[in-house]
Amino acid sequence: MRRKLKQEEFEEHWKEITYQLELEGLKPDAEDKESMRQVLMGEAPLSTLREIKNKG
């Protein structure tokens, strides 16, 4: 079983996640962030994540 992240840890991870997604031409929004937070903090299953829309 994996360890659940704390909010502060999530915010640090989110910066890196956002950077990587933007390099791929994707723009995560507030819904994406909340879905990712729930999954990484163990509040929701991985299937909660949705497709992140392309910037263009």
- How many CA atoms, within 13 angstroms, populate the side-chain half-sphere of residue 47? 0
Kindly give, in sequence order, each residue whose CB lies less than 8 Å from that of residue 43, ignoring residues fewer than 6 positions away: 37
Can you read off the two tokens belonging to residue 54? Answer: 């392309």
- pLDDT, residue 56, reads 52
- The model carries a pTM of 0.73
Instruction: Summarize pLDDT for 2-52 with one digit per residue, the tens.
Output: 677 788 989 999 999 999 999 999 999 998 899 888 888 888 888 887 776
More confident position, 34 or 53: 34
Q: Note whether 26 and 52 are within 8 A (CB).
A: yes
More confident position, 55 or 12: 12
Residue 54 has pLDDT above 70, yes or no: no
